[in-house]
Chains A and B, each alone.
Chain A
Amino acid sequence: MSLLRSLPVPTFAEHEEAVRAALVEVAENSFFGFTVRLDEPSFVDLVRNPPVFDPEVPPVREPWVVTEVHFHGAFAGLVQLTMNEALARQLLQAFLGLGPDDPIEEPHLFDSTGEFANQVCGTWLTRACEDRRFDLQPPAVVRKPIDWLPLDPPAADEHVGQVLMSMNDLPLRLRVQFVSEPA
C-alpha cells in the first residue's frame, strides 16, 4: 500500500487565466518582451509561416526548444514551454542585456529558456495559491528538429491545456498538465 496520498487534480480551466497572466508578467518584466494572445488558427499560421522581419532576408526556419518544469505542493504537474531558437536567443539577449553580435553558447541558450519557464511556473503558483508552498524541479530542456512543429493537440483531458501566444512576433506555446502524484 502506497504511503503517498493522491493530490487533488485541478482542471486547466481553473488556472488558464492565471497561467496566461504569469506568462505575460514574466515576459514583460524579466525579459522585456511583448506578448499577444493568439487563437489556434493564428498560432498555426505563425508556426508554419515564420515572420519576415527584413524584406531582403528570407525567413529562416529554426529548431525548437521545449522546456519543462515539474512542480508539486498543494497539487502537482508540469509546465511546458515551446519556442523556436530565434525567440530563445532573444530571451537570453534581453535577460542579460547582450547586443545582437555578442556570442551565444548553447548551454546559455537552454539556461535562459529554463529560467523563463521557472519564473512563469513560480509566478503562476505564487499568484494563484498565495498561501501554499510549492517546490519546483530544475528545468529540463530539449531541442527539437526544424521539421518538428509544435502543433500536436493537447490530450483530450480536462487536466491538460495550453496557452497560445506570440512573443516579439514569434510563436510561444505554454502547456500545463496536472497529475495526481508528483513526478
Chain B
Amino acid sequence: MSDSQTTATSGPRPLNILIVDDSAMMRMMIKRVASLCEVPIGNIYEASNGVEAIKVLEANDIDALFTDINMPVMTGTQLLREIGKYPRYHNLTRVIISTDGSSARREEVKDLNVRLYVEKPFRPEVMRDVLAEITTGAHVR
C-alpha cells in the first residue's frame, strides 16, 4: 500500500483516488496517466487486493475507487459488495478496470453502484477521459 501526491490545479476539488489491482504495472500505468493529464487529482493510494483496499478506505478520505476484478485474497466484486454494506461509502465513485468485459460479469456488478466499467486493453487516453469524467462530471467518451 502506498500513496503519492500529484500536482493539483485550480478548478474542481482534487480527488483522492485508490487504485486496486494485483498488477503493480497496471497501478503504475494509471498513476502515470493521472499525473500527466490535466485533471485535478489529490492523493493516489494503491492496494493489491480487496482486503488491502478496505484498510486504505478506512484510514483515508477516498473519493474514487478504481478496482480490478480478478485478484487474489479478495476480488474486486467481493470488495464492492463489502463496501456496499456501509453508508459512509455511499458517495464513493466506483470504477471497474478489468479484462473481463463479458455481459455476464457486467450483470454481476450492475447492482454494486459502479459508475464506469473500463475494459482492458485500453489506451492511456481512455483513462485520462475517465479521470476527467469523474472529476468534472463531463461526459467525454
Contact = CB atoms under 8 A, between A and B. Distances in A.
* Chains A and B are bound partners: yes
A132 B24 contact: no
A119 B103 contact: no
A126 B119 CA distance: 10
A146 interface: no
A65 to B, nearest CB: 14
B59 interface: no
Contacts of B99: 118-119, 121-123, 126, 136
Nearest to B72: A138
Contacts of B28: 96
Nearest to B49: A138
A132 B102 contact: yes
Given A29-B121, A30-B120, A119-B121, A114 B102 contact: no
B123 A29 contact: yes
A133 interface: yes
A119 B105 CA distance: 16
Contacts of B71: 138
Nearest to B100: A122
A157 B94 CA distance: 44
Nearest to A26: B121
B26 interface: yes
B141 to A, nearest CB: 15
Interface string B9-36: 0000000000000111110110010000
Interface stretch (A41-49, A56-64, A105-113): A105-113
6 contacts: A30-B120, A92-B25, A114-B25, A137-B70, A138-B22, A138-B71
Given A123-B120, A131-B104, 13 more contacts: A26-B121, A29-B122, A30-B120, A30-B121, A30-B122, A31-B121, A97-B124, A115-B25, A123-B99, A130-B102, A133-B102, A135-B70, A136-B100
| 6 closest residue pairs by CB, A with B | A122-B99, A30-B121, A133-B104, A29-B121, A136-B70, A115-B23
